Structure 1
Amino acid sequence: MSPYPHKNYHEENPSTKLNSRPVFLVDTPTCKIPLFSPFDISIVQFLKPGKKISCNKFLPYTYEDGTILRVNWTAIHQSRHKDTFKHCRYQPIIRPYEAEHHNYFDYGDYSEKFYSYIEVPYEFVRVRCYNRANGKMYTNYHQFIYRKNDIEKVKSTAFEKHRAKVSETLNVLMVGVDSISRLNFQRYMRKTNAFLTNRLNAFDMMGYNKVADNTFVNIVPMTLGKFLEDVPWNESLSDIPFDNYNFIWKMFSDSGYRTLYAEDAPKIAIFDYLKAGFHKAPADYFNRHFSIAMTKDKQLWYNEHNCLVNRLETDVILNYTFQFASIMQKNPYFAFAFITGLTHDSTESAAMADESYFNYLKSLYEQHMLNNTLLIFYSDHGMRFGKLRETYIGKLEERLPFLFIVLPEWFRKKYPVISQSLQINERRLITPFDIYETLQNVLFFGTDQREQSSSRGISLFQEVSDERTCTEIGILPHWCTCAKNVPLPPEDIKNRDFGERIVTSINQILSTYVDCARLTLENVLSASKILPYDEILRFRKSKNDVINRKVTFGDKVNSFVHYQLIVQTSPGNGRFEATIKYDELHDSSKIASDISRINLYGNQSNCVNDHSIKKYCFCNM
């Protein structure tokens, strides 16, 4: 059951915003990123059915209600303990602002006994319930969001000063999901995809390209605006906490925004896996000690460590951010959440996450919690291992995670140039550096006050240049999904074959129009092939983030090659442009785009009234 209240209504399928049939996600003079179906015939053998997940092994004897912890008598009456239940007590889960180490947590004293409900003045608690023989019969973990008086006073003063300097303010809600490519999001998270597209009018950044290998090295550019080596950081600093780096949430905090930082899977968390994490809490609301405490209570977990008592670990984090956004709705806030466990290990596991994220986003929308909030919903990279990953499409997927940006409707109307830029940028080469610059743009809106960062990024509120290349923004060739455009010599044998295929397709379109002449190929005026970087086709793995960083290459995998041709036909000297998709493995090809007429046809097609046919038809005399 969803932890968020919402209405029930039917979701439409995502609708395309384009009338024509695109061949590329990004199609600029310097970058062409191929577009593939999520169910392309070359990879369907590696796709497994998505499954749902149910967390119903244990009944929840307790639940949160604001800052009150209640006994769930309905569940108890349905359980084997209905005649033996006695009372419950909770213990706060404690971590000081500055802890001894990043895994520190402790339990405080037990509360008084309660039989019905109790007010909880702590953020995180472990609750235990007992039977009449004083034996422990139930354990669970609960989280609460409440305003912290010491923080509120400081933040209110800081925000007053900040508000006087800027022309607009927005809350920021960043929700990251581990290891989901844009294609895999379309495959397995269809309800969430539909809701983002149809209800939230999200901007879908189709050319979002990761800049390095794993989560850590892609989140750092997003939150610090620099590559690791430019921070500077390397593996020799692994024992030093990240407390003193000026992350983007610190900048928002200094300007009076209430801040939240939340992750699941504490063992492999972004700044903690083989690293020292944070000794000082990075945000006003921070859940790591709670997450560690839950993880250590192994008997409460099941379904491959995805379910805790009666709920998904994913839902625990989403509910935490939801309650934070709800409480802080009328105050400026910055929330950063990253959720790993459920989707990290297989492509099809994304299906188990669909319902949770759909319910979460729908509740934010229906309770008007996005009315003054920038939502950035994203992944760090696609799946980095497995059979699918060994294919050409799988290699592209790993490098092309999903990224959606949602803005309030009033903001889009008030700043139409920003909306227009975002729409253009949906089909431009985009990186985590651009997210960092966008966040700075939001923080210092209408001012020139910006943190000095590299020139690798640009705010997505501005139009990204169609001349942008991977090289200029520091993406190494084996991460770059932009294909190379290679002109073909006129004598290339494929030119004539593909030219004939284009003309045959035009004649098939005209086959029912008896007044239109049958066309023949007169000449191939130009041809080029669009090739992926050889480093992508041969890439196997990357080891180490900075020191002794090593990239291993292997045999080249078969790929798809796109050929772009301009042909001239007879009679009428019509000139047409089309793209052919060639499958190297099966030596097969097909037209992958609409066929465009690129010269005027004047009165040549007066014998037909169908506008879509006029560009092809040369009327018989």
Structure 2
Amino acid sequence: MSSLRLIDLTLGQFWKGTHRIWKKDKRIAVILGTIFLVCGYYFYQSVTMPVRFLFINKNIDKQCIIPDLDPFDKSIMKYVWSPDPIHCDSLPDLVYVDDAGSLQYNRSAFKVYNVQDIKCSYSPLIRPNNDDYSVTFGDEKFIDIPYQVPTDFFKFRCYTKPEGKMIYETLQESVYVTESMRNSKAFEDPDLSKYSIFMFGIDSTSRLSFIRKLPKTYKYVTETLGAYIFKGYMKVGDNTFPNVVPILTGKLPGTEDLPNPAGTKYNINKLPFVWQNFSREQYATVYAEDYPIVAAFNTDGSGFLEPPTDHYLRPWMLGLRKINFVSDVLKSVLLPFEYKNINLKKTSSLCFGNKPIFTHQINYLKRFVTLYSSKLRFVFSWLVQICHEFVNYLELGDEDFYQFFKFLKDNGHLDNAFLIFFSDHGSRIDDIRNTFVGRIEERMPVVTIAPPQSFKQKYPAAIKNLLDNTRRLTSNFDLHETVNDILTGDFEGKLKFQLNSKRGISLFQPIPESRSCADASIPEHFCACYGSTDISTKEPLVVKASKFAITYLNNLLKKYTHICAELMLLKIHEAQLVSLGLSAQGEEENRWTIYKFFSKPEAEKHKRFLIIFETIPGNAMFEATVDYHVETGMEITDDISRTNKYGNTSICVPEKTLQKYCYCKTMLKQ
């Protein structure tokens, strides 16, 4: 009997059995059906997961040549498409939290709920065991609206009068400022010579996917906020934990400064997180993350025994799971169908109530920055659900991210604050990763820094370094040093600095152009740098590239052919091949998958040549960078440089930019 026939019989027997159970007990049938669906999905997912090849970069000790990739390369675009918009519950909120942190009735919603008089209550959400994994609800307390609930998170219910029928229930997120915080000196009189810092992170987002999938946010960040985007930023670890920990602590998991010989979860309660330093300097702090089952510090880490910051969103996320456990479990099954625009229920699994979960998190951040607007603030936000496993979902957050950044600017929150938009890595588990472009961008997460306008005026040297460093090799350790400098105000490098004593260099300081991955502490299997190698000047592609460059020069001089001589190749003096240097060395995860039988990494289709050649007449020496792609042919990168003097040999050309290329015909007669 064939395996497919056996599966058919097994499925048939399962459904017949389920049908018999359904007649007797529908609840058991639902449970069995759910178990079958979940198990079936995880089996399907495990055997169809793309192969993740392990690549090693041979250029780790060479000066880094930053990859220059097209975000819309056709090898990538076949995996890029638009999912359906997120559809959440259409019912409006019966209450809302105002700018002062108080609950208010949404009177316009009373008609929708068909009520005139109601009574409402709250039950505080509590961390009962001093851990990161359990929450419970306190006693229900009836209140009069408006009312400020003395906790950040609570279950909120409303009932009809006099019947007492519950018509509304939600898990409300708020921000409660304690009396001790309100009465603190720093709250009333913050040090305005210092800057707040807002770190807004999104999992699995490369710089290229930022351009592709968040066009509105990208335009606003670059054009309106004047952010600096670091084109040479590379990750130092595989997944979230080893990439976020270096940013927040300056330490790399798995090395001698943060060893883990037992291979168990890291005790993160002992780590020197930067938010502790900000707290000591009287900053108000918040850490918000949206996906508790794969949270940054709870998958590879042990979780926090105490809330790590003044305000901490994880209990609210755990509360969602507690009040809606079945839906939360099914989420991982339903989301892949939604991703393919197959909706098995009316509302998206990305929603809670009438909003996406990431919008609830953004609203939480808005309340925090508003209530602490007179105080220095440190914000660390991390979004996972919208993009961790489904790269095309990212675009569904574009409008919300844009509106959030616009809110920060329009309300003056960025007048004295740095906005850092960042990620941990690009897509790791999608088919896009096994394309040539995909395996590079997976190593190059997005990092942008938008400094306040006042900073640009006060520290022009630091701004120049920021701009220069957007074209240098950078890493998580550099971002860590940058955050430290924002805290200490050391933007001019006045504090003691020894390059060999630390891994990172602040982005406010000049980073050497000669930097290699080894210099930047980027491991060889995460290094995405190109390196150059001397090759024969007689190589056919080198000769072809040189002639292509000369044709390019002659085309630039086309309208001056009556006064400029046609250039011809005399000699190729030097040639270098610029290549990525990534070679496949087996698989990162040795697991069985169907793709093992026919999947292989896409070959490198792109080559870059650095060529120094001599032309006649005039014996001009030129240096050109020529890109060659097996499908699209050759292209000149940047300007062709003249490397020897040309004196008066081009004086006949009126355009100054062309004088270095032209050899005047009048010179031929001399």
Q: TM-score, normalised by structure 2?
A: 0.79
Report the CA distance between 1:194 and its aligned residue. 0.9
CA distance in structure 1 between the aligned counterparts of 2:173 and 2:370, rounded to whole angstroms = 14
Q: Does 1:103 align with 2:133?
A: yes
Deviations 1:492-537 (A, max 9, x none): 22221111111112222222323222211111121101111234x5
CA distance in structure 1 between the aligned counterparts of 2:205 and 2:268, rounded to whole angstroms = 26
Give the match for residue 361 of structure 2: 317
Give the match for residue 121 of structure 1: 150
CA distance in structure 2 between the aligned counterparts of 1:294 and 1:492, rounded to whole angstroms = 64
Q: Does 1:76 align with 2:110?
A: yes
Equivalent pair of 1:158/1:254 in contact (CA under 8 Å): no
CA distance in structure 1 between the aligned counterparts of 2:185 and 2:156, rounded to whole angstroms = 32
Q: TM-score, normalised by structure 1?
A: 0.85
Equivalent pair of 1:343/1:353 in contact (CA under 8 Å): no
Give the match for residue 49 of structure 2: none
CA distance in structure 2 between the aligned counterparts of 1:452 and 1:613, rounded to whole angstroms = 42
Q: Name the amino acid aligned to 1:467.
A: S
310, 318, 321: which one aligns with 1:295: 321
Equivalent pair of 2:434/2:600 in contact (CA under 8 Å): no
Report the CA distance between 1:138 and its aligned residue. 2.3
Deviations 1:173-222 (A, max 9, x none): 11111111000000111111111111111111111100010010101111
Report the CA distance between 1:233 and its aligned residue. 4.2
CA distance in structure 2 between the aligned counterparts of 1:449 and 1:112, rounded to whole angstroms = 58
302, 308, 311: which one aligns with 1:285: 311
Measured at CA, do residues 344 and 240 of structure 1 come closer, stay the same or move farther in structure 2, by a change above 3 Å? closer
Q: Does 1:504 align with 2:551?
A: yes
Measured at CA, do residues 427 and 539 of structure 1 come closer, stay the same or move farther in structure 2, by a change above 3 Å? farther
CA distance in structure 2 between the aligned counterparts of 1:543 and 1:227, rounded to whole angstroms = 24
Q: Does 1:350 align with 2:380?
A: no
Equivalent pair of 1:440/1:450 in contact (CA under 8 Å): no
Report the CA distance between 1:264 and its aligned residue. 0.6
492, 502, 516: which one aligns with 2:539: 492
Give the match for residue 426 of structure 1: 470
241, 252, 268: which one aligns with 1:227: 252
Matches within 5 A, 1:580-591: 580-584=626-630, 586=631, 588-591=633-636
CA distance in structure 1 between the aligned counterparts of 2:94 and 2:461, rounded to whole angstroms = 52
Report the CA distance between 1:450 and its aligned residue. 9.4
Equivalent pair of 1:243/1:278 in contact (CA under 8 Å): yes
Matches within 5 A, 1:396-475: 396-446=440-490, 448=495, 455-475=502-522
CA distance in structure 2 between the aligned counterparts of 1:449 and 1:579, rounded to whole angstroms = 40
Equivalent pair of 1:155/1:258 in contact (CA under 8 Å): no
Give the match for residue 97 of structure 2: 64
Q: Name the amino acid aligned to 2:142.
A: E
Give the match for residue 601 of structure 1: 646
CA distance in structure 1 between the aligned counterparts of 2:628 and 2:184, rounded to whole angstroms = 62
Query: How many corresponding residue pairs?
Result: 574
Report the CA distance between 1:590 and its aligned residue. 2.9
Give the match for residue 213 of structure 1: 238
Give the match for residue 279 of structure 2: 253
Measured at CA, do residues 272 and 155 of structure 1 come closer, stay the same or move farther in structure 2, by a change above 3 Å? farther
Q: Does 1:40 align with 2:87?
A: no
Matches within 5 A, 1:504-523: 504-515=551-562, 516-523=564-571
Report the CA distance between 1:451 and its aligned residue. 13
Higher mean C-alpha displacement, 295-304 vs 219-228:
295-304
Report the CA distance between 1:567 and its aligned residue. 1.8
SS of the equivalent of 1:471 reads: coil
Between 1 and 2, higher relative CO (CA 8 Å, sep ≥ 6) is seen in 2
Higher mean C-alpha displacement, 262-271 vs 84-93:
84-93
CA distance in structure 1 between the aligned counterparts of 2:510 and 2:316, rounded to whole angstroms = 42
Deviations 1:541-595 (A, max 9, x none): 3689xxxxxxxx97673342211112221112222222222235x4843333332
Matches within 5 A, 1:2-401: 30-49=63-82, 52-65=85-98, 66-77=100-111, 79=112, 81-83=113-115, 86-95=118-127, 99-114=129-144, 117-131=146-160, 133-151=163-181, 156=186, 168-229=193-254, 230-234=256-260, 236=262, 238=264, 241-273=267-299, 275-298=301-324, 304-401=348-445
SS of the equivalent of 1:485 reads: strand
Deviations 1:324-352 (A, max 9, x none): 12222222222211111112122221211
Deviations 1:459-503 (A, max 9, x none): 111111122211123222221011111011222222211111111
CA distance in structure 2 between the aligned counterparts of 1:375 and 1:90, rounded to whole angstroms = 35
Equivalent pair of 2:610/2:625 in contact (CA under 8 Å): yes
SS of the equivalent of 2:544 reads: helix
CA distance in structure 2 between the aligned counterparts of 1:560 and 1:190, rounded to whole angstroms = 27
Q: Name the amino acid aligned to 1:170.
A: Y
Cα root mean square deviation, aligned: 3.0
Higher mean C-alpha displacement, 274-283 vs 131-140:
131-140
Could you say which structure has the higher helix fraction? 2
Identity among equivalent pairs (%): 30
